[in-house]
Every structure is written in structure tokens, then in C-alpha cells.
Amino acid sequence: MATTYIQQFEAKYPELQSAVESKDYSRVEQLAHLLKGASYSVGLEQTALLFHDLEVAGENAHLDGANETLATIESHSKRFLSEWNTHFEQFT
């Protein structure tokens, strides 16, 4: 499940960043919703809550602070990948 999450995050997160940058509110809402659900599925509740914030921001067409939220999500993601890789290496 974590591998699927990583693949989905790596595919969709750059799209979300682009949507925020271009102020494509509908796309921000859709992608944030997708990534929120994926984050919950692997137990990343704090990350999911941040995606929820972006989802609501897209829905309300109000992206102030979105870049800071994206930076925090990216930090969470790097930590998750590091922990996952460390865990995975123990079994190889």
C-alpha cells in the first residue's frame, strides 16, 4: 500500500503544485482530495489534513498560504520516504 501511495504522490503532487501556481481552483480541489484520501490510507493523518486544507482552498477559490502548505506537505513526504526506505532496507 505504501508503494502505491508513493507512486501516486510522485505522479500527482507535481500536478497539484502546477494547479496552485496557475490558480486552477477546480484542479487543486480534485488533486488535493485524491491525495488526502491516499494519505489517510497509509496513516499520514497530518499530511491528509494539509491536503484537506488545500481541497477547501480550491473549493473556495482562495489559495492564500497554499505555497506554505505545499512546502509543509513536501517536508512530510520527504520524512515518510526516508522512514519507508529505511524500513524497506531492513528486509532486503
Task: Render pLDDT for 35-51 as a digit per residue (tens, 0 to 9).
Answer: 999 999 988 999 999 99
Q: Does residue 88 register a pLDDT over 80?
A: no
Task: Render pLDDT for 9-36 as a digit per residue (tens, 0 to 9).
Answer: 999 999 999 999 999 999 999 999 999 9
Count of C-beta atoms within a 10 Å radius of residue 45: 10
Residue 90 confidence (pLDDT): 62
pTM of the model as a whole: 0.88
Helix (H) or strand (E) segment spanning residue 83? helix 66-89
CA–CA separation, 2 and 9 (whole Å): 10
Residue 74 confidence (pLDDT): 93
